Structure 1
């Protein structure tokens, strides 16, 4: 088997985080006035999504045993939720950058189907699995990708609801609200275990992999959904009646995500600066780029929905950090691919 074929067989289920990161950075560019950059990100992301779908289908057809092993592994299974989030983020990107509602509706259907299939397959498999790792080996920030996937369905539903007539608008807003609440409950369950693992069990530099940034990213996308539900309140009576609750929890999610940022930066400095852990390209780094873009987009959307104009300088600064992180990671990916194709065999 060639090195390229072997790489496809071992393709990380988390690789759709590339689509998540590119999509949300593109959306954030559009929101902050970088329209040409947003168009470029959209074109690139459509191509990336098509390639990853083709590679994933090939992998499922040729190596179902490897796929199933990943889907039943505590460290690898949550990565499959990036396919849900990537699909829905791309759908939102198509709406906000290109106004392609029909294509976004198709992606919404794919995202919902993937969410249902993966949620109940993965959590059932991990529940009935006879042999399980200890908590410190089995739980990572990557588990919060289940939250991100759930909230990505919610945010695309809320976006589509703004452009459909009744009663579909009402139905999609109710779905968005239900998924938003479900995602919040999932976060509470999972972050409790992650925080316990942080503070009461030994932590080595290798344990602090980039998906720990999803601790913040899951709260950022929850903020984005809350802001869109607030904007949609005039179109659904149940949202209008819950408006104080929506506003309170949206700020709750945003402030929690904001709390995580300094903590994650400090731990990254400890990992790479103090402990000298090598920084080399890994597909998991896309899980660190996505939260930066999502925090930018969510803060901007919340500030507009709730007239919190004093927060606007934050996304104007974070969009630069998100674009820089995306560019560095993308260059790392290209160099990694170049080494792969240059290698003999």
Structure 2
């Protein structure tokens, strides 16, 4: 997810070589995870059912839609549509399993229901614009509205103490609004809606983006005041919202007619790239340290 959205944003800003590198990495990671997902589904049913109940399972849907969005940017619409169909097939069962196991005082992973649903909205809206399929635009709108409702439901279950003590996935609280704004920008740009409907979509999109930027400031301030230097795999759930907020700014700028969002998105993009590089280097260092540690 984190690598794929950086590829999308780098393409949007004209950094094609870096975008292609990120895309290749994202595809390789997606294939590895898809193989692991399938192997557990077919060979480890008990483990699969247990993990399918956790919010992290929805990253399969979100990652697939991000990859599909990048494929559409390449002009590979058939492949993008195939990934949309795959994500849509996985989404209902995983979402229902996850929502059934929601509880109070949850970490940032609670917002992954919104992220996965808005990922469907983004890719459906992108393909609707390319193929001029109005029904797909309406499906994207339905996913967009449902995603916002899922965000509200997750917010009331989110443990706000995670802001000062979370291991990384607390950033999804803001990232979910960023992908909502991204979906809204694609819908706002569609010719399917005009008049008051277009105005409403633009307003909701701008509100979602504004709130995501507020979250960005709050979470960054909390990180500086309460450092969490130890590596955790959930730090990749920090990188994804950073990249998604950048992408949302870049995408909203045109349909909303707010030019200064472009330079803001570019600045946020390089922050996200730096975060990706730092997180990857810490990941490598932690594995090397573990391998060198003496056996007990």
TM-score (norm 2): 0.92
Please give the secondary structure, in 1, of the residue aligned with 2:48: helix
State the 1:342 CA deviation: 6.8
Partner of 2:14: 33
Question: Separation in 2 of the partners of 1:281 and 1:56?
Answer: 24
- 1:281 equivalent to 2:262? Answer no
Question: Separation in 1 of the partners of 2:215 and 2:120?
Answer: 24
1:172-183 aligned within 5 A: 172-183=136-147
State the 1:56 CA deviation: 2.3
Partner of 2:67: 90
Task: Check whether the contact 2:58–2:94 (CA below 8 A) recurs between aligned residues.
Answer: yes
State the 1:241 CA deviation: 5.1
Please give the secondary structure, in 1, of the residue aligned with 2:211: helix
Please give the secondary structure, in 2, of the residue aligned with 1:142: helix
- 1:292 equivalent to 2:242? Answer yes
CA distance change for structure 1 residues 204 and 241 in 2, over 3 Å: closer, same or farther?
Answer: closer
Task: Check whether the contact 2:164–2:222 (CA below 8 A) recurs between aligned residues.
Answer: no
Task: Check whether the contact 2:163–2:170 (CA below 8 A) recurs between aligned residues.
Answer: no
State the 1:209 CA deviation: 2.1
Task: Check whether the contact 2:110–2:157 (CA below 8 A) recurs between aligned residues.
Answer: no
CA distance change for structure 1 residues 204 and 47 in 2, over 3 Å: closer, same or farther?
Answer: closer
- 1:155 equivalent to 2:113? Answer no
Question: Separation in 2 of the partners of 1:284 and 1:30?
Answer: 26
CA distance change for structure 1 residues 341 and 83 in 2, over 3 Å: closer, same or farther?
Answer: farther
CA distance change for structure 1 residues 322 and 218 in 2, over 3 Å: closer, same or farther?
Answer: same
State the 1:61 CA deviation: 3.5
Question: Separation in 2 of the partners of 1:171 and 1:340?
Answer: 52
Task: Check whether the contact 1:296–1:318 (CA below 8 A) recurs between aligned residues.
Answer: yes
Q: Which runs of 5+ in 1 are unaligned?
A: 1-19, 128-132
Task: Check whether the contact 1:42–1:94 (CA below 8 A) recurs between aligned residues.
Answer: no
Q: Which runs of 5+ in 2 are unaligned?
A: none
CA distance change for structure 1 residues 171 and 241 in 2, over 3 Å: closer, same or farther?
Answer: farther
- 1:51 equivalent to 2:32? Answer yes
Partner of 2:99: 123
- Aligned pair count reads 295
- 1:228 equivalent to 2:204? Answer no
- 1:111 equivalent to 2:87? Answer yes
Structure whose CA Rg is larger: 1
Task: Check whether the contact 2:167–2:232 (CA below 8 A) recurs between aligned residues.
Answer: no
Deviations 1:43-68 (A, max 9, x none): 11111110111122223344332332
Question: Separation in 2 of the partners of 1:61 and 1:340?
Answer: 31
CA distance change for structure 1 residues 204 and 263 in 2, over 3 Å: closer, same or farther?
Answer: closer
Task: Check whether the contact 1:88–1:108 (CA below 8 A) recurs between aligned residues.
Answer: yes
171, 175, 185: which is aligned to 2:135? 171
Deviations 1:166-192 (A, max 9, x none): xxx111100000000110111112113
Range that drifts further, 84-93 or 99-108: 99-108
1:1-345 aligned within 5 A: 20-72=1-53, 77-96=54-73, 98-124=74-100, 126=101, 135-136=104-105, 139-165=106-132, 169-194=133-158, 197-198=159-160, 203=161, 207-232=165-190, 234=191, 236=192, 238=193, 242-272=197-227, 277=228, 279-338=229-288
Deviations 1:184-221 (A, max 9, x none): 11111211332xx32xxxx4898412111011101100
Please give the secondary structure, in 2, of the residue aligned with 1:163: helix
Partner of 1:3: none
RMSD, aligned CA: 2.2
Range that drifts further, 250-259 or 332-341: 332-341
